[in-house]
């Protein structure tokens, strides 16, 4: 009697093990999946360097200044759309108070510019 009840439980445990394994594999794929690199123009790179300092210092006043500068560059056509979008993403993170994630994004953007 005990053996007959153990069989369905074993199948359930087997399914749980397979589900956990599948979740782990999917997680590893997303973790190691190569992401596309950000290509910045000169204005975008300068903005990312400034934003990196601003985010590390959590300087809201300077954040507003660089946001205004980036908007001006965009209206004047001095910054590419990809650079502007990347800078705006960092500014958005910092405005939400996620300074550390904003700094990590700046660092990633700058590292993406290195030719290896």
pLDDT in tens, 47-104: 999 999 999 999 999 999 999 999 999 999 999 999 999 999 999 999 999 999 999 9
CA distances 22 to 5, 8, 9, 34, Å, are: 27, 21, 20, 20
Asked whether 63 and 95 are in contact (CB, 8 A), the reply is yes
pLDDT band for 116, please (50, 70, 90 cuts): low
Asked whether 51 and 66 are in contact (CB, 8 A), the reply is yes
Question: What does the pLDDT read at residue 17?
Answer: 87
CA distances 79 to 11, 15, 46, 73, 87, Å, are: 59, 53, 11, 6, 10
Q: What are the tens digits of pLDDT across the range 5-59? A: 545 567 778 888 888 888 988 887 776 666 678 889 999 999 999 999 999 999 9
């Amino acid at each position: 009697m005990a053996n007959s009840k153990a069989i369905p439980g074993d199948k359930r445990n087997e399914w749980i093990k397979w589900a956990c394994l599948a979740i782990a594999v999917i997680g590893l794929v997303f973790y190691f999946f190569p992401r596309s690199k950000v290509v910045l123009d000169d204005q975008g790179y300068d903005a990312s360097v400034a934003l990196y300092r601003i985010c590390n210092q959590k300087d809201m006043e300077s954040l507003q200044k660089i946001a205004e500068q980036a908007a001006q560059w965009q209206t004047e056509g001095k910054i590419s759309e990809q650079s502007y979008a990347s800078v705006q993403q960092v500014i958005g993170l910092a405005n939400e108070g996620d300074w550390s994630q904003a700094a990590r994004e700046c660092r990633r953007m700058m590292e993406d510019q290195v030719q290896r």
